[in-house]
Structure 1
Amino acid sequence: MTDLTALEEKIAHLTRTVEELSDVVASQGKEIDVLTRRVAMLMQREAERELDVGDGIPLADQRPPHW
């Protein structure tokens, strides 16, 4: 095996690895977007629920007792 062939094999393996990692990062990015939207929706829902209870200020907007 020549040095050139060995380098070409290494480049091929590295290229495949980079492509696989890129796919994983893209998939995780989509999942993070979905989860971010869900958390925002749940926060909104909880804030609306707290307002419906009639406590006045939603707990999420209140200062902690140690402040």
Structure 2
Amino acid sequence: MEKLEEQIAHLTRTLEELNEVVARQDSEIAVLTRRVHMLMEREATRESEGGGGIVMGDERPPHY
């Protein structure tokens, strides 16, 4: 009986730890999703304003 109680206690602790990890990951995913959405909106605005990174004539690209 003691062995079963020890296993139940261990499994309960493991379950609580996993629950904390999943809750933290859920909030991190929500933050990252908002950031990606914001960046997509920013890029869409930038493209609609015509700043699409077109190289004119002898102009070097920005990575040079």
Same fold by TM-score greater than 0.5:
yes
- Runs of at least 5 residues in structure 2 that lack an aligned partner in the other structure: 53-64
List alignment gaps of at least 5 residues for structure 1.
Answer: 56-67
Q: How far is 1:6 from its partner? A: 0.4
Give aligned-pair identity as a percent: 65
In structure 2, C-alpha distance between the alignment counterparts of 1:28 and 1:50, rounded to whole Å: 32
Give the alignment's Cα RMSD to 1 decimal: 1.3
Which residue in the other structure is 2:30 paired with? Answer: 33
d(CA) in 1 for partners of 2:36, 2:51: 23
TM-score (norm. length: structure 2): 0.78
Q: TM-score, normalised by structure 1?
A: 0.75
Match of 2:40 in 1: 43
Deviation at 1:38, TM superposition (A): 0.1
